[in-house]
Amino acid sequence: MSNVNPMPKEEGLDHTLSLAREGYLYIPNRRHSFNSNIFETRLLGKKAICMGGKEAAELFYDEEKFMRQGAAPNRVLQTLFGAKGVQTLDGADHKHRKEMFMALMSQEGIKDLINLTRNEWESAIAKWEDMDEVVLYEEVQEILCRAACGWAGVPIQEDEIQARTKEFGSLFESVAAIGPNHWLGRAARNNIERWISGLVEEVRNNKLNPPENTALHQFSWHRDATGNLLDAEVVAVEVVNIIRPIVAIAIFINFTALAIHQYPEEKVKLQSSDQKYTEMFVQEIRRFYPFFPLVAARVKKDFIWNGYKFDVGTLTLLDLYGTNHDPTIWDNPDLFNPERFSEWDGGRYSFIPQGGGEYHSGHRCPGEWITVEVMKAVVDQLINQMEFEVPEQDLSFSLVNMPSIPASKFVINHVKKK
Ligand code: HEM
């Protein structure tokens, strides 16, 4: 044990409030002031480790060293994740469940979702032409909720679409909220899970027959590693794990609209360039703007890394936002510059807005390709398929509130189909 060094440590009884107060910058601020990519702190009354950067990400995704069981706080399970979903599993159980998700992510499957999204967007343009003012964030959530339910095989009536969209939105908007907004998220999860569990029962009783390639069909008939069907409640959690994050792409789309507005030179480039540039632009949106600040795991067994001791059970947070803004990885990280992706090496641990590591064997987001493709389709809609104006409004966004969304939620008017 002679080569063990004390980890830089934030003194004090508990820093949960500082995390809430500093949001996306809580870990980056301390990595900077300690001049260390790793430090010890206290969160939720217990010792915790925070780390960021490429090497830390590589360590964090080593499944021999970290596990997800018991890592997510209750408020996250009750809103964002749901109980017993893929996020909470480890080892062989996780891998088996993860395959269920990855099986939906074929090129064909993704194309179907893009077509649904394009169709919904085009219908929405026709509606927006008659509106005095369009709050893009809310409208895009509805477009994505319609497309996601269609793609997942979940029937949804016209008169329930607005309420369901709000419920899905509140699952990711309420995670870090305090008071009533947080409780709205919990209530939304109960409602949505009850609704989708009911549909799973109908599928199993042959009262509902969603197409075979949909999440509702696949997940309802999925068998776990021991050959048993999943509980209907768990299927519901996993179907929500498809629809909720597709609705959440509305956040990246709000930032896409913001970037096109605030960097007019980018609009010109997007109009005159090929798909390659659109992809670089979308990647830079995902790197530059805040979305998920961090991911959490627990130390699986005692080990020493770079001279620092990790004790079994210790909560460990990986800095996603800070790694995407790490000056040792990115030149001028606070500059919006899609060109940086023309020579990007595709590193699995340096560009991690949706987690790092492997899709099939690790916890990396299975929806990353979908997210990129939906965003590319939306760039085309915003740039080539419609005209609009952006009235005076508060377009600032916070690096404290999680998730961050431009204050006005991006209002547009005078919409016209091109
Ligand atoms: C809206 C943009 C999105 C962002 C910012 C995002 C971000 C993330 C992050 C940070 C993780 C955690 C990675 C980890 O635990 O190491 C994750 C996991 C996950 N995401 Fe996404 N995601 C997005 C879109 C999607 C989409 C479109 C889907 C599905 C259609 C999806 C489904 C999931 C699932 C099921 C997991 C859990 C994976 C596992 O634990 O193995 N996400 N995502």
d(Cα 213, Cα 211) in Å, to the nearest integer? 6
Q: Which residue puts its alpha carbon closest to atom 13 of ligand 1?
A: 355
35-53: pLDDT as tens digits: 999 999 999 999 999 999 9
Closest CA to 46 of 311, 308, 416, 378: 311
CATH of the domain at 86: 1.10.630.10
Percentage of residues in the chain having pLDDT higher than 70: 100
**What is the domain extent for residue 89?**
16-417
Query: If you average pLDDT over every residue of the chain, what do you get?
Result: 96
32 contact partners, CB below 8 Å, separation of at least 6: none
Q: Which sign does the torsion angle of CA 70, 72, 73, 76 carry?
A: negative
pLDDT band at 94 (very low <50, low <70, confident <90, very high): very high
Q: Is residue 4 part of a domain?
A: no
Q: Is residue 220 part of a domain?
A: yes
d(Cα 361, Cα 341) in Å, to the nearest integer? 26
Q: Could you say which DSSP state residue 218 is in?
A: H
218-253: pLDDT as tens digits: 999 999 999 999 999 999 999 999 999 999 999 999
Closest CA to 264 of 383, 373, 129: 383
Q: Is residue 7 part of a domain?
A: no
pLDDT band at 176 (very low <50, low <70, confident <90, very high): confident
Q: Is residue 149 part of a domain?
A: yes
- Residue 327's SS3 state is coil
User: Scanning the structure block, which residue is given the tokens 């890394």?
Assistant: 305
d(Cα 275, Cα 373) in Å, to the nearest integer? 11
Q: Which residues pair with 46 in a beta bridge?
A: 43
Q: Is residue 10 part of a domain?
A: no
Tell how far the Cα of 363 is from the centroid of ligand 1, in angstroms: 8
Tell how far the Cα of 290 is from the centroid of ligand 1, in angstroms: 15
Q: Which residue puts its alpha carbon closest to atom 18 of ligand 1?
A: 365
Burial class (CB in 10 A: 0-12, 13-18, 19+), 223: exposed
pLDDT band at 2 (very low <50, low <70, confident <90, very high): low
Question: Candidates 105, 324, 354: which one to mutate for ligand 1, based on the most atoms within 8 Å of Cβ?
Answer: 354
98: Cβ below 6 Å to ligand 1? Answer: yes
Known binding-site positions for heme: 365
366: Cβ below 6 Å to ligand 1? Answer: yes
Tell how far the Cα of 245 is from the centroid of ligand 1, in angstroms: 7
Structure tokens at 190: 């109960």
Contact 52, 37 (CB under 8 A): yes
Nearest atom, ligand 1, residue 243 CA: 30
Phi, psi of 295 (to 5 degrees): -125, 155
- Residue 210's SS3 state is coil
Q: Which residue puts its alpha carbon closest to atom 4 of ligand 1?
A: 354
Q: Is residue 6 part of a domain?
A: no
Is it the case that residue 345 has pLDDT exceeding 90? no
Structure tokens at 143: 């477009």
Q: Which residue puts its alpha carbon closest to atom 42 of ligand 1?
A: 367
Q: Which residues pair with 229 in a beta bridge?
A: 223
The CA-atom distances, in angstroms, between 260 and each of 62, 96, 144, 379 are 38, 40, 20, 9
What is the tally of structural domains in the chain? Answer: 1
Tell how far the Cα of 6 is from the centroid of ligand 1, in angstroms: 34
What ranges make up the beta strands (E) of 227-364? 294-299, 303-305, 308-310, 315-319
Contact 74, 46 (CB under 8 A): no
Q: Are strands 134-135 and 66-67 parallel, antiparallel or unpaired?
A: unpaired
Q: Is residue 339 part of a domain?
A: yes
What is the predicted pLDDT for the residue at 256?
98
289: Cβ below 6 Å to ligand 1? Answer: no
- Residue 368's SS3 state is helix
Nearest atom, ligand 1, residue 98 CA: 41
Known binding-site positions: 365
105-142: pLDDT as tens digits: 999 999 999 999 999 999 999 999 999 999 999 999 99
d(Cα 365, Cα 102) in Å, to the nearest integer? 10
d(Cα 299, Cα 124) in Å, to the nearest integer? 47
Tell how far the Cα of 293 is from the centroid of ligand 1, in angstroms: 13
Tell how far the Cα of 188 is from the centroid of ligand 1, in angstroms: 19
Helices (H) and strands (E) in the chain, counts: 15, 10
d(Cα 35, Cα 383) in Å, to the nearest integer? 42
Tell how far the Cα of 195 is from the centroid of ligand 1, in angstroms: 22
82: Cβ below 6 Å to ligand 1? Answer: no
What is the predicted pLDDT for the residue at 301?
97
Q: Is residue 87 part of a domain?
A: yes
Closest CA to 124 of 137, 110, 140: 140
Percentage of residues in the chain having pLDDT higher than 90: 96
Nearest atom, ligand 1, residue 363 CA: 41
